[in-house]
Amino acid sequence: MTVLDRPPVRASAPVPRTAARARRPRGAGLTPWLFLAPGMILFLAAIIYPMMQAFQMSLYDWKVLKGLSSEFLGFDNYRRAFDDPIFWRALVNSGVYMAITVPIQVVLGLLVAILLNRKAPARALFRVLFYLPVVTSWVVVSLMFKYLFADNGVINWALRDVTGLTDGNISWLGDRWTAMAAISVLGIWKGVGWSMMIFLAALQGVPRDLEESAAVDGAGALARFRAVTLPAIFPALAFVVVMLVIGGFNVFTSVLVMTDGGPAQQTQVLLTYMYQLAFADGEYGYGAAMAVLLTIAVFIISILQLRAFRGRMGSAT
């Protein structure tokens, strides 16, 4: 008997969806939600509720002392922020810090990761040394850099007495832009190790056979990096840039310790200005309004970055 002579096999009737659902254990659909519930509760308690509370505070002249009533102001705190020159100066300073630190941390972190991804003597030791600033206390390293850039600090001593490049001391922390440069140097020194570790993990996932094939085809080191390595680590690059931008707008401890927003409010950034308004001046409602504006700005910037990177990753694939 050939295959054509065989009698046709009747297909079994499909099981109705209602019957399949009837055999499913009762409450099985709730199981995923039970696993998600702790994380969702934590997210609501730690993120959503404080954001809603901050927005509520921003609509009032908020008082924290008992016996004092909070006056409803509506959106007056937001209008006040847009007319506040210190707010705009703090926004510019935060943007300058972000614009300086993010590209340098990305480039240096990637270069160090490429070097330490190769087989070299004491490679593990250098990885630890580059990552060590990441785990040090912000307060400790900020105090260290404050003394380094003081009028009689090591930097001025090296420029004046060792190299002879200057005749006197430079007031690094007494001028707006030199102070922001010193604070940015601290941010770069402390953050390069973090981006290095992310890039290092991504580089170890790059297929070696593709790099070897490109090398056999005559591609140089730069061509292999552009054609093979960069597309492979692009998701890690996108993650690093987005996180560094968010961190750049949230710079706080280094500014507070090194300059405290001075001189004359010249080095205020958004978080230090909010801190001063809330905990030094007692203007909790106005500080909360600035926090809401910062959250909205960072959210919009992050969404735009993710959209741009998503389009780039889609075109690469």
What pLDDT digit, counting tens, does each position of 248-298 carry?
Answer: 999 999 999 999 998 899 999 999 999 999 989 999 999 999 999 999 999
Q: Which amino acid is residue 167, in one-letter code? A: D
pLDDT of residue 7: 55
8-state DSSP, 29: G
Q: Specify the 3-state DSSP secondary structure of 72.
A: strand
pLDDT of residue 2: 47
Does the predicted model carry a pTM greater than 0.85? no
Q: What is the pLDDT of residues 6-25, one digit of tens each?
A: 555 555 555 555 555 555 66
Determine which of 66-80, 91-105, 144-158, 180-194 has the lowest per-residue pLDDT on average. Answer: 66-80
What is the rounded CA–CA span in Å between residue 314 and residue 129? Answer: 36
Identify the band that residue 27 occupies on the pLDDT scale cut at 50, 70 and 90: low
User: In this model, does residue 63 exceed pLDDT 50?
Assistant: yes
Give the CATH superfamily of 48-291. Answer: MetI-like (1.10.3720.10)
Winning range, highest mean pLDDT, from 35-44, 113-122, 140-149, 231-240: 140-149
For range 56-74, the mean pLDDT: 87
Q: Which long-range contacts (CB under 8 A, 24 or more apart) does 124-132 make?
A: 127/196, 127/197, 127/200, 130/192, 130/193, 130/196, 131/193, 131/194, 131/196, 131/197, 132/193
Instruction: Tokens for 98, please give them.
Output: 């972000």
pLDDT of residue 315: 57
User: In this model, does residue 3 exceed pLDDT 50?
Assistant: no
pLDDT of residue 198: 96
Q: Which long-range contacts (CB under 8 A, 24 or more apart) does 122-125 make?
A: none
Q: Where are the beta strands (DSSP E) in the chain?
A: 60-61, 71-72
Determine which of 134-138, 222-226, 252-256 has the lowest per-residue pLDDT on average. Answer: 222-226
Q: What is the pLDDT of residues 200-214, one digit of tens each?
A: 999 998 888 877 787
The domain ranges of the chain are 48-291
- Choose between 309 and 291: higher pLDDT: 291
8-state DSSP, 70: P
pLDDT of residue 221: 80
Q: Specify the 3-state DSSP secondary structure of 90.
A: helix
User: In this model, does residue 177 exceed pLDDT 90?
Assistant: yes
User: In this model, does residue 218 exceed pLDDT 90?
Assistant: no
**Closest by alpha carbon to 175, among 101, 260, 99, 263?**
263
Query: By CB neighbour count within 10 A (0-12 exposed, 13-18 middle, 19+ buried), where does 239 fall?
Result: middle
